[in-house]
Copies of this chain bind each other. A is one copy, B any other.
Amino acid sequence: MQADIICVGNELLTGLIENSNAGFLSRRLWSAGIPVREVRVVADDERAIGEALGKALQESDLAILTGGLGPTDDDLTREAVAAILGLELVLNQQWFEKMDQFFSMRGIKMPDNNRKQALVIKGSTILENKRGTAPGAMLNTDGKFIILLPGPPHELQIMFDEQVLPYLVKKNQGKLTTVKTLKCIGLGESMLEERIKAIGKWDLPPISYVARGFEVDLQIKGSGDLESASVLIDEAEKRLRNVLGDHIFGSGDDTLADIVAKLLTEKKLTLSLAESCSGGLLSDTITDIPGSSKFYRGGMVAYSLKAKIEALGLDKELLDREGEVSDAVARAMAEGANSLFKTDLGVGITGIAGPDSDLSGSPVGLVYVAVATSKLCESRKLNFGGGRRAIKERAAQIALDMVRKILINI
């Protein structure tokens, strides 16, 4: 099985919206053993959509269209697909009533033009939309599969993972590409490569590297039948873990925050934060994890000197003496978080995210991160580049990695 992806939307062609759907679907299809032949991004234009679909059905077994299922006049995907297949659109009464409910639950009368979203291509199977009013659709015609998905990523992703992928995996049985991803932190791409090359001759499945900020994904790609590929991948993983140790923090879709959450939950420990330059990003990252309320008690974003003293309770003299951006203040923040929120682990982050330096003249990108427990307090001094957002992100990554390492050894 081979796929074509067609993303519909003027907003993609003007760059107003980043096209994250193409990457998401490509990754999912690839790991399900279905290579993507081509991705096309076309305008909200019936002719353009129809032409792209015609070509896709010539070349591939599977065509996935995203976007253009909204309620407005320029949403034309349904119409274009129906036209090229010579099928008609019919009103789905059930979906109509579902939308009516969706709006009345929100205390709003359903606008007339939403009616259009209950029009479905005759003979297609409706895909439920847990997060919006546009139904998806699956069609099977002349041995080809056509799938229509809504454009908003949070609607598309859950619909694809729950309703489409299981179906495709079943259809494509036994032809999976076997890939294992190891997630690393604390070593750059080239240092990782050096360590791996030092293992010597590598007669195992090939490894590729993808850097994401301070993290690097190592992908081991096996081929052939599932069983023999797995044996070789397992052997490769063993050798890599041997030389990389706890620089490997997880595998697959694991994030650093997932791993920290897992460790905290297992060890029944609680966490709190005191953030300055990271501005709440670390708190946001942690609370993205379902169930984080089990271990995360709270965080303080102490973005001003006053907040550090009056709200977080730091010693004014310490701040005057050491400066807001200092090792001592990061440590005091970590400990302050523990005493304010009554937790086992506290994190303190203070630094200069820029664009300007602070009054003391500390350089932009200078960040101190500290983690405290009742028994220890560890800290690191870092110099980040890459602009305001990158500095916030890297500070949060380092903090999570420090928490992870402490948790491993508790």
List residues of A whose CB falls within 8 A of some B CB.
10-20, 22-28, 30, 35-43, 48, 70-74, 102, 105-106, 108, 111-114, 130-132, 152, 154-155, 158, 181, 188-191, 193-194, 208-212, 217, 219, 273, 275, 278-284, 286-288, 290, 292-293, 296-304, 306-307, 310-311, 340-342, 353-356, 383, 385-390, 392
Contacts and interface: CB of A to CB of B under 8 A. Distances in A.
A36 B14 CA distance: 7
By CB atoms of chain B within 10 A, which of A14, A111, A131 has the most? A14
A13 B40 contact: no
B287 A299 contact: no
A287 B301 contact: yes
7 closest Cβ pairs, A-B complex: A279-B287, A280-B283, A15-B27, A15-B26, A298-B307, A280-B280, A39-B41
A193 B287 contact: no
A281 B275 CA distance: 13
B14 A27 contact: yes
B48 A38 contact: yes
B303 A280 contact: no
A38 B41 contact: yes
Nearest to A293: B303
Given A293-B303, A299-B280, A303-B287, A158 B387 contact: yes
B18 A36 contact: no
Contact of A389 (B13, B275, B288): B288
A12 B39 contact: yes
Contact of A304 (B298, B306, B389): B298
B340 A311 contact: yes
A25 B15 contact: yes
A194 B113 contact: yes
Contacts of A304: 293, 296-298, 341
Contacts of A292: 279, 303
A12 B38 CA distance: 10
Given A26-B12, A40-B38, A341-B311, A112 B303 contact: no
9 contacts: A13-B30, A14-B27, A14-B35, A19-B22, A19-B39, A39-B39, A111-B193, A279-B287, A297-B307
Contacts of A40: 38-41
A355 to B, nearest CB: 5
Contacts of A387: 130-131, 154, 158
A193 to B, nearest CB: 6
Contact of A209 (B38, B72, B112): B72
A284 B287 contact: no
Contacts of A18: 20, 23
B41 A13 contact: no
A131 B390 contact: yes
Nearest to A272: B307
Contacts of A273: 301
Contact of A111 (B10, B14, B113, B191): B191
